[in-house]
Structure 1
Amino acid sequence: MAALESLRKGVLGFGPLGINGDEEEAEDSPTVLLSVLAQHGQMGLCFYDTKDSSLHYMIDTADNYELQLLARVIQEVSPHVIITSAKQERCMTSFLQQLGSNPDYKPEVVTYPYVDFGLEVSKQRLLSAHLPFVPASISERDKMSYLSSCISFDSPLMLRAVGALLKCLDRRRVGVELEDSSVGVPILQFHSYTLKGVVCIDRDTYSVLQIFKSELHPSVYKLHSGEKEGLSLYGILNRCRCKFGSKLLRQWFLRPTLDLAVLHRRQEVIRFFTSPRNSDALSNLQSSLRNISNIPTLLRRMSLSHTKVTDWQSLYKTAYNAVCIRDTVRHLPQSIHLFRDISEGLSDDLDHIASLISRVVDFETSLAENRFTIKPNVDPAIDEKKRRMMGLSDFLTNVARRELEHLDPRIPSCCVIYIPLIGFLLSVPRMPSMVEKEDFELEELDFMFLSEDRLHYRSQRTKELDNLLGDLHCDIRDMETAVMTQLQNIILERSASLYKVLDLTAELDCLMAMSSASQEYGYTSPKLVSHRKITVTQGRHPLLELCSPVFVANSFQSSESQGRVKIITGPNSSGKSIYLKQVGLIVFMALIGSDVPAKEAEIGLVDGIFTRMQSRESVSVGLSTFMIDLNQMAQALNSTTGNSLVLIDEFGKGTNTVDGLSLLAASISHWLRKPPMDVPHVLLATNFHSLLQLGLLPSSGLLSLLTLETAVDGEELVFLYQLKEGICQSSYAANIATLAGLPTSLVQRGVEVSELYRTGRLIKRIDKASSDEQANRCRSVVKMFLSLDLEDKDLDLQHFMKDELLPSAGELPNRS
């Protein structure tokens, strides 16, 4: 595409330090080695910078066929060495060829066998790497646990690229050329790499905020292969009419931007289409967008001469509807950047392409014959042959009549037929006397074949017709194929105009889709600013409000020096987690240029959204649930800046209460003791009320305490879901347990034990006697029974059983 080509020109138009500079500069300049692996539309990469001996990694990310993302990474990183697999996809081969054709920038390309990119091999290389910050005595298991907090183990392509990079470093002895061979290349730190201007959001955040959610297709025929988008933010905003619009929208979701110019460009289009007076233009443009086809695929088939009739139809519809879109947009305000780009970028070449296809291609006949055919008055020679073809029936009837006069009188009739690739033949019925092949021979006729009791011959006249008229059918097809080739060449020469259509219409489709959602759900356009402030008035959760008949809106405010760290307490099910996700989703929506579910919003751009809200599946990575929670928290503590957003829900509950509370308090104190400029926006929900009651946190104006209102109506707990300042005084665990359906007796006993524990009193068992106590009672009963003298006539057994034995043993069956 044109946008990608211009980007590549920018990438390939300069040389990094140490390549084009003087040799002296090259010796002193740092070296960057980049390892990349691309498979099935996904790309994983990492690079090592000798400047600070750091390894930078980027989690597996979707990339297009032109590897536009890789081009941007190379533009920013300027690697001296690029490492990739010898077994690579065609897109990577084409990319490296184009990279090598630039005379100004020629990085060294190193290819390793595919086996060197193995996942397990790469993990072992990572464990064996020279990491000075890791104690030498640490076990392999503990080392793996520690590394999981430094580098993402959920990105297999990236991990495999790391393995190949470590092999290259070890072979070249980068930075340790003069050291002993036992000294490995040091890795002093790991850094997560994000493209400049792109918001850092990891896979856990996308999952917990439900930005994407794949579900199995409901059709039984697609259960094992088909997926559909479930209830997710992408699902409710994706109202795109063309496939490439949906792809571009997903790319916007995967790469939220910090570029205010880009965001304002998107906002002005959405603001225009959300106005009710522009609804007609919206519907007209969306109906045209439905007919925009997969242009790269069409042009690729054209270049290979594999074009089908349906491809010509699709191309005509695409060009025609692109012209309609351009003409419609030219009547819209040209002060809007996208409208101006469409008006100027969709050139008259599109009119020419649409007009040419319309004048040349006969779609009705093409579909009937399943081949490319042209309309009349395009090529006089073809028209002449077609006229001959159409008048051939009457002409051949006359020829057959004259031929019959020269045939054996026993033959009652004949006809002259035309068979493509064979030519003109004389066809006569088979006579009863014609049994053997010798009987088929007729004077002055050359026998050809027998078919359905008719004999076919070549006569002198049919031979003359072959010479005079030729193979009309094949001639017409060959000539029409030549016309198709000329038409293909004309269109391919103007392919840049068609790629421009794809770029601009996909962007228009995305923005109209978001404006339709904004109009339906009552969103508002946020004010985007560069300062470190976020204000949301009466915000709503964009997904929950669709599922709940009544939704209580709540506001959020975090300024540069006040309320940046918010601790939210409240009973379970009171809405704490929903509020955290609501704030995260509103900020995310603003960063893709969308309107947001709020009455008003002013969003200061954030460079990353970090979450510790949901524990992922832990079996495949070999880590405990609490270890995964710690890794997520470590990522938030180590990677955030003063422009980040952090959402933490119930951190510390996966371990001993005291230990969990201590870790939580230490994490919050870490942020509160930073200079205000370095403190991110932090929202933390917790049920550790002791965190506040025991005064474990330092006093700071950056700290804000919030709770969600509840009311108790008799014994029933009523959730009001309204946020207010303050601290929750009770967890209301008993009320929520009753709502959940736990037995009343169990809940009452729980309340009793909780009260005894809180007041420091002894908790007595009420379920049953202890095993030792039961054993002593049993021994006492047996001893009493054995002491009886059964031969004593004065012994009253009934009195003994009733008054002495049973009172002692009666408690056993009752309590067991």
Structure 2
Amino acid sequence: MNDSILSPLMRQYRDIKQGYPEAILFFRVGDFYEMFYEDAQDASRLLSIALTSRDKNSAHPVPLCGVPYHAATGYIAKLLKAGRIVALCEQVEDPKAAKGLVRREVVRLYTPGTLVDTEFLAPSEPNYLAALAVRLDTAQEIPIGLAALEVTTGEFWGMEFHGPHAFTHLLNEVARLDPREVLCPADLVRQSSASIQHITGARICERPPASFSRQSAVRALTEHFRVQTLEPLGCADFPAASRAAGAVLSYFHETQPTVPLDHVRRFTIRHTSEYMHLDGATIRNLELVKPLASNEPAAGVPPSTLLSVLDRTATAMGRRLLRQWLVRPLLHCDHIRLRLDAVEELKNHMQARTALRTALREIQDIARLGSRIVLGLAGPRELLALKQSLSLLPEIFVDLTPLRNQLLCDARASWDNCQDLYDLIERAIRLDAPLTIRDGNIIKDGYDPAIDELRKISREGKNWITAIETQERDRTGIESLKIRYNQVFGYYIEITKANLARVPADYIRKQTLVNAERFMTEELKELEERITGADVKMLAREQEIFAQLRSRLAKEAHRLDAMAAALSLIDVVAGLAEAAALHRYTKPMVTESGVITIQGGRHPVVERLCTDSVFVANDTALDLEMNRLLIITGPNMAGKSTYLRQVALIVLMAQIGSFVPAEEAHIGLADRIFTRVGASDNLAGGQSTFMVEMVETANILQNATQRSLILLDEIGRGTSTYDGLSIAWAIAEHIHDRARLGARTLFATHYHEMTQLEQQRTGIKNFHVAVQECGGDVVFLRKIVAGKADRSYGIHVAKLAGLPPGVISRAQAVLSQLEQPESARSESIQEQLPLTPESLPTPHPIIEEVKQIDLFSMTPLDALNRLAELQRMVRSDPSDR
């Protein structure tokens, strides 16, 4: 930007923008926030608002767009959702008092991972800021670290990953975490940002390597937690996690210098051995928390994720905890059984469950309320919401009393009704308190003597004004005399022109109007100062008292955190019990064995979608001996993929402590669940469907263990038939081999040749989806039975899909030829096509037409038009009838 062509306003904009090059700058100009240059172009596109220009008639017009200041919150939220950051630049002096250009400053930087404003947050979703401490140029034995901060609740933890596959494990943990913003060293961003972006929709923020140094981490952590070393924090032996944690704190303080983190009171180390391993592909393919289809479901459409089916929670805290459980199933039978026993007790005690859920519906988000109190952001209504929630704690405690499960008893043993906090808010805050403290009228009568006195003066001032008005009418004899008020002159006496001769000498003229004049008296002036002074003092005193009250509550925030955790746990357990009762789920038996036996298993999501039909249940028997690898054949659309997913979901549900959709289930713990289902290109990464398939399969073969559960669906279909069959065969052998892997596996395939493995290797069994033929048509029975499929029924599926009858009949004819023995097929071909030049058939004109088409030079529209033309030729050709 050339100074010589810039106005003073645009020079000011340029200087401020230089400090925030990555942010979209909301630049306050009057009643609008305006954006210029590239910011305007980006904002116009992302916000769908008009793009115009400033100085349209100049030689260098400036791109411009703007939004009203009172509607800025909604626009900022859209930009944050799009992964951008926003710098809010305000006028920091009164334009009327400014000499020259109004002074402006950035007062707030909004980034997706540092939000504390409730209007930008989804109540049922966490809002993590994560950092990855990775150095790709070092030896593989160097650990890499992850840290995550949820500023709205104060949750702060770190993890470390070791070994040759550490980076893959890190990315998988990021997929489970689903952060809103990820901090990475600059070199990592350049080398692997595509892989990070592929697994999360988070904003990737490049940070200088010095932000991840050990010195910076030690300084940030020890200063924040007020300790001398890292030993008291328990992270001294975890240098990579500590470096990531230090980067998180440094970034937060850099971007939010006015926001304290006093509510972040501890940093914990999580261990990878505590939870089942779920990679990003599995979370996505099983649709645990998000549907594969990115579009929002229409109103009234049944849920399509496991989270939506199981979510019967009553609080936002419970919904967030349930999501954590789903992506981090447990690995220890004792902990799983505690949860299952708690769900069972509440499922069997409907009265207690109903009472708990009824009370929990009135509980607000205590976790986030506590944090906002510590941050100094909570307003009067939020304190009233906290009081309402605390009022229900005694009732919930009573509802828990008859329950005997250890998990629920532990919650009751550490119960805190927080009665003193309730009483404090009850005594102090008016029930009709406004949304913000700027509006006053917050503190109850009787709480503070000074406020009571000032309120009395303000309240009685109107009576005093009325008394003076009556007094002056009597003294002057002017019946039309009135005392009025406006913000410019304050209180004044108004007298019409006709009565000016009767005005006393002690009246002081303030203003002359067309038909009247306005006066002041010393008595009225003193009274005005007393009344208006009381209002100002009362507002200031109320704000002071409210701040003191909020500070007192902030000192007890750890108690609110403890009760938020207890209530979240109760909410999730009660919700799972409700889901079990509603959906006819049964309690699984979870053991350390390698046996997975499911009788009458159902897909928890698909069965909810079967509103006009009955879901067909299926049995499953997997173990580490004779039933290690089940090869499942059958036609497309028959239900193979649904069956694979339902087995995985039942195992996962059991290991989070949920009842399962089955008549009976014995679940031998799985340390990991891997899925390779579905087909999708990674266009951003330059990977085809087949490459994505092979990358995900390689990840499974490299990271699975004997105790893993593997689901493979149609491996090899993305390449030629023989290549695909060879790859699928070799993969099946590798997984089956105990010396290499020996994991429990469901292997769905369209390669019928693979059913030969049952005779060749012990521990491989064939299963297929039953099909019934009726007069040339087929009915998919959705039942998994022993044995291999004798036919693929692909032509029947094509018929169901609506292919033209001519195509179907021709396909049947070709199939009948191909299904003959090779010798017979050769003789048939020779009989039909004698190999003499004279007898060779004339090439069909439509085939010749197809051969001449240059597919790679055609647009999609051209291709559709050509296809329509060929179809017309086929229909008009008598030889094809």
TM-score normalised by the chain length of structure 2: 0.64
One of 701, 709, 717 as aligned partner of 1:653: 717
Aligned-partner residue type, residue 208 of structure 1: N
Report deviation, 1:727.
1.9
Distance 2:513 2:333 in 1: 77
Q: Is the counterpart of residue 208 in structure 1 residue 285 in structure 2?
A: yes
2:273 alignment partner, SS class = coil
Distance 1:414 1:580 in 2: 89
2:535 alignment partner, SS class = helix
Which residue number corresponds to residue 53 of structure 1?
140
Distance 2:511 2:704 in 1: 86
Which residue number corresponds to residue 26 of structure 1?
none
Q: Is the counterpart of residue 273 in structure 1 residue 346 in structure 2?
A: yes
Report deviation, 1:526.
0.9
2:766 alignment partner, SS class = strand
One of 224, 231, 241 as aligned partner of 2:304: 231
2:580 alignment partner, SS class = helix
Report deviation, 1:152.
9.6
Which residue number corresponds to residue 635 of structure 1?
699
One of 758, 761, 779 as aligned partner of 1:718: 779
Unaligned runs of 5+ in 1: 1-36, 78-94, 96-110, 127-147, 170-192, 221-226, 779-812
1:596-633 CA-partner distances (Å, limit 9, x unpaired):
00011111221111112112223222122112111122
CA contact (8 A) 1:47 1:165 kept: no
Distance 2:589 2:742 in 1: 22
One of 351, 359, 379 as aligned partner of 1:308: 379
CA contact (8 A) 1:229 1:235 kept: no
Which residue number corresponds to residue 729 of structure 1?
790
Distance 2:213 2:554 in 1: 42
CA contact (8 A) 2:136 2:188 kept: no
Map 1:654-733 onto structure 2 (within 5 A).
654-675=718-739, 678-693=741-756, 698-700=760-762, 702-733=763-794
* Higher mean C-alpha deviation, range 151-160 or range 740-749: 151-160
CA contact (8 A) 1:537 1:600 kept: yes
Which residue number corresponds to residue 688 of structure 2?
624
Q: Is the counterpart of residue 259 in structure 1 residue 332 in structure 2?
A: yes
Map 1:773-812 onto structure 2 (within 5 A).
none
Q: Is the counterpart of residue 585 in structure 1 residue 660 in structure 2?
A: no
One of 608, 611, 621 as aligned partner of 1:546: 608
Report deviation, 1:521.
0.8
Distance 2:732 2:840 in 1: 53
Map 1:482-493 onto structure 2 (within 5 A).
482-493=544-555
Report deviation, 1:381.
4.5
Aligned-partner residue type, residue 496 of structure 1: H
Map 1:335-350 onto structure 2 (within 5 A).
335-348=404-417, 350=418
Q: Is the counterpart of residue 505 in structure 1 residue 561 in structure 2?
A: no
CA contact (8 A) 1:643 1:681 kept: yes
The 3 A distance-change label for structure 1 pair 744 and 384 is closer
Which residue number corresponds to residue 20 of structure 1?
none
Which residue number corresponds to residue 460 of structure 1?
522
1:430-459 CA-partner distances (Å, limit 9, x unpaired):
32476xxxx999622333456896655442
Report deviation, 1:46.
5.5
2:274 alignment partner, SS class = coil
Report deviation, 1:205.
1.7
Report deviation, 1:339.
2.8
CA contact (8 A) 2:604 2:661 kept: yes
Report deviation, 1:539.
0.7
Which residue number corresponds to residue 7 of structure 1?
none
Distance 2:527 2:733 in 1: 100
2:638 alignment partner, SS class = coil
Distance 1:598 1:726 in 2: 23
The 3 A distance-change label for structure 1 pair 358 and 559 is same
Aligned-partner residue type, residue 446 of structure 2: N
| Cα root mean square deviation, aligned | 4.6
Identity of aligned residues (%): 24
Greater relative contact order structure (CA < 8 Å, 6+ sep)? 1
Aligned-partner residue type, residue 752 of structure 2: H
2:272 alignment partner, SS class = coil
Distance 1:743 1:607 in 2: 49
Map 1:76-87 onto structure 2 (within 5 A).
none
Which residue number corresponds to residue 493 of structure 2?
427
One of 625, 629, 638 as aligned partner of 1:565: 629
One of 355, 373, 391 as aligned partner of 2:423: 355
2:384 alignment partner, SS class = helix
The 3 A distance-change label for structure 1 pair 63 and 477 is closer
Distance 2:680 2:381 in 1: 46
The 3 A distance-change label for structure 1 pair 252 and 433 is same
Distance 1:55 1:697 in 2: 46
Aligned-partner residue type, residue 717 of structure 1: V
1:352-385 CA-partner distances (Å, limit 9, x unpaired):
2222222322223658995343333333444344
Unaligned runs of 5+ in 2: 1-111, 115-126, 164-180, 215-269, 844-876
Distance 1:625 1:73 in 2: 32
Report deviation, 1:814.
7.3
Query: How many residues are matched?
Result: 643
Distance 2:363 2:211 in 1: 46
Which residue number corresponds to residue 87 of structure 1?
none
Report deviation, 1:709.
2.4
Which residue number corresponds to residue 742 of structure 1?
803
1:379-413 CA-partner distances (Å, limit 9, x unpaired):
34443444454444444444444444555x6x445
Report deviation, 1:724.
2.4
CA contact (8 A) 1:204 1:611 kept: yes
Which residue number corresponds to residue 24 of structure 1?
none
Distance 1:165 1:653 in 2: 47
Distance 2:734 2:839 in 1: 55
1:48-69 CA-partner distances (Å, limit 9, x unpaired):
69997347778x9986337988
Distance 2:340 2:767 in 1: 33
Which residue number corresponds to residue 402 of structure 2?
332
CA contact (8 A) 1:301 1:307 kept: yes
Which residue number corresponds to residue 73 of structure 1?
159
The 3 A distance-change label for structure 1 pair 67 and 247 is closer
The 3 A distance-change label for structure 1 pair 404 and 731 is closer
CA contact (8 A) 1:430 1:454 kept: yes
TM-score normalised by the chain length of structure 1: 0.68
The 3 A distance-change label for structure 1 pair 400 and 69 is closer
Which residue number corresponds to residue 178 of structure 1?
none
